[in-house]
């Protein structure tokens, strides 16, 4: 018994240290989030506007942010709420202080997202339909934003869709789900369903309805939210209605449709989009993803009967910068598809992408005699978006670690430990007016300007690091309800001799093994009960 008590004490110290790290990460995420909302946003709760830039020396914001940076505010709130939910049992006061107010502010952000919303009729590959979507630029009146041509892009709709599905799962607010469904349907409508000479769809989603080029960022980001939507609607069971109007092209080029269950369509397209991007945009020599397939952006049309439809346009060679987020969305996608299918290839691809990300996206540097890994950054805050690109990779690594593949865990842990060190270094050395510089290891470097976009990315990273630490070393005796954990789908409990325990026998020192969708063990933990 004395030995068991010593073991329990040692484990308690380990988990106490883990809890301290989680809480510090979450507290810093909340600080960054609140600082950004107070300094980079203006107006009332019914007319909220985000500045494009913020000067930490003059303490003033300027310009108006596009919808993409605004979406990062939704993401950061969802990430903090996710971490608060997981740590509620051990930090009830932190939860009480922040949860409800952040839920309220998230709803305000959603309501004011309507300033970017507009309506237009789109002639797509298989139908003509009027859509309500989000434009690049903000209007002065809700619902009147310009969204025609190149004024809306599919990747913006995908990022918004993802965060609204998260918001629904975190709050239960049906408005979020309704809008996410419509955006997913709109993006699927952008799929190139024209048939080649063998009767196969060309596939891929262009950057926007005003473009022919097909990008990693207008395909990969949709995979994860499609999986989530599929699960939400499949959970209705026999009550799910086959009311999704699925449009497609027959071999004779005629356009038709059938009514299908939403869960089936969302799951099918999650697979189709993932496989298309893997086939067309993976750089097999580096192991990470190209940016795009270029093309002449003159939209072509074809007339079938008395109706006009968009026609396929051949794309050029793949190329462009290998940005971290384009590989990150495919890491997240393979994690989700591995979870719901148990297919080994997704686990293997996830591990390869994580490993390639370490070699391709980080560079070891020395600061104060200690080794750090530098992620891609920009010369100045107004010249690029690498802070947020890195955020997408980091949150995907949290998913990758949960899959339980030991190779993926090793690589994702390298990346997650690295961003933890980088963020902490910047926090301890360069925090200025409540904000961090985009170059976490070198500081502000003669500039005082930042973007709320970048600060929201840092807040989201800190929050997801808290989530990651909680999943690695759970602080609650019973697993928390964690709808976003792609790894631990069930818990099996054993005593130290390996005997499986029933619920009534779970006393003393026990081992809990978390089992992944493919049957492998994601992680184990020992508890003294």
CA dist 390 and 324 (Å) reads 6
HEC string for 82-122:
HHHHHHCCCCHHHHHHHHHHHHHHHHHHHHHHHHHEEEEEE
Residue 501 has pLDDT above 70, yes or no: no
> What are the start-end ranges of the H helices in 282-405?
324-341, 344-361, 386-402
| DSSP 8-state class, residue 206 | B
The CA-CA-CA angle for residues 30, 64, 442, to 5°, reads: 55
pLDDT score for 511: 46
pLDDT band of 526, cuts 50, 70, 90: very low
% of the chain surpassing 90 pLDDT? 84
Other CB atoms within 10 Å distance of the CB of residue 478: 11
Residue 239 has pLDDT above 80, yes or no: yes
CA dist 437 and 455 (Å) reads 9
Q: Residue 285, SS3? A: coil
pLDDT score for 485: 81
pLDDT score for 504: 37
pLDDT score for 495: 53
Q: Is the pTM of this model over 0.75?
A: yes
446-476: pLDDT as tens digits: 899 999 999 999 999 999 999 999 888 766 5
Q: Which domains does the chain have, with CATH numbers?
A: 2-487 (1.50.10.20), 488-529 (no CATH)
């Amino acid at each position: 018994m004395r030995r068991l008590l010593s073991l329990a004490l040692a484990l308690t110290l380990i988990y106490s240290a883990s809890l301290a790290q989680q809480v510090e990460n979450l507290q810093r995420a909340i600080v960054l989030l609140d600082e950004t909302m107070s300094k980079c946003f203006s107006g009332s709760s019914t007319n909220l506007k985000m500045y494009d830039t913020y000067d930490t020396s003059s303490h003033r914001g300027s310009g108006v942010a596009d919808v993409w940076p605004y979406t990062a505010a939704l993401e950061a709130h969802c990430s903090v709420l996710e971490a608060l939910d997981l740590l509620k049992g051990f930090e009830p006061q932190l939860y009480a202080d922040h949860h409800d107010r952040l839920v309220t502010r998230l709803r305000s952000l959603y309501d004011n997202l309507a300033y970017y919303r507009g309506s237009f009729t789109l002639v797509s590959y298989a139908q003509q339909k009027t859509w309500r979507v989000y434009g690049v630029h903000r209007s002065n009146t809700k619902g009147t934003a310009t969204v025609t041509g190149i004024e809306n892009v599919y990747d913006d709709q995908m990022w918004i869709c993802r965060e609204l599905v998260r918001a629904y799962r975190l709050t239960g607010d049906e408005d979020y789900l309704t809008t996410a469904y419509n955006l997913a349907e709109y993006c699927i409508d952008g799929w190139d369903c024209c048939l080649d000479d063998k009767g196969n769809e060309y596939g891929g989603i262009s950057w926007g309805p005003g473009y022919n080029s097909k990008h990693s960022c207008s395909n990969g980001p949709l995979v994860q939210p499609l999986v989530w939507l599929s699960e939400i609607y499949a959970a209705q069971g026999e009550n799910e209605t086959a009311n999704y109007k699925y449009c497609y092209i027959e071999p004779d080029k005629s356009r038709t449709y059938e009514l299908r269950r939403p869960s089936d369509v969302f799951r099918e397209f999650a697979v189709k989009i993932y496989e298309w991007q893997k086939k067309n945009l993976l750089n097999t020599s580096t192991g990470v993803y190209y940016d795009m397939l270029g093309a002449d952006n003159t939209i072509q049309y074809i007339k079938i009967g008395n109706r006009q439809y968009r026609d396929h346009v051949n794309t050029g060679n793949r190329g462009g910068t290998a940005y971290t987020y384009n590989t990150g969305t495919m890491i997240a996608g393979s994690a989700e598809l591995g979870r719901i299918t148990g297919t080994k290839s997704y686990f293997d691809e996830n591990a390869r992408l994580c490993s390639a990300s370490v070699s391709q996206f980080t560079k070891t540097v020395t600061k104060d005699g200690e080794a750090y890994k530098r992620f891609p950054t920009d010369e100045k805050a107004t010249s690029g978006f690498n802070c947020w690109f890195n955020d997408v990779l980091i949150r995907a690594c949290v998913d990758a670690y949960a899959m339980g593949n030991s190779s993926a865990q090793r690589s994702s842990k390298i990346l997650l430990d690295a961003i933890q060190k980088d963020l902490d270094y910047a926090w301890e050395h360069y925090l200025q007016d409540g904000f961090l510089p985009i170059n976490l290891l070198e500081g502000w470097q003669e500039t005082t300007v930042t973007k709320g976009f970048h600060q929201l990315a840092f807040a989201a990273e800190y929050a997801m690091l808290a989530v990651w630490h909680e999943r690695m070393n759970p602080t609650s005796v019973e697993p928390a309800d964690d709808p976003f954990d792609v790894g631990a789908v069930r818990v099996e409990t054993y005593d130290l001799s390996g005997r499986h325990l029933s619920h009534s026998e779970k006393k003393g020192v026990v081992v809990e093994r978390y089992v992944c969708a493919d049957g492998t063990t994601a992680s184990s933990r020992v508890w003294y009960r």
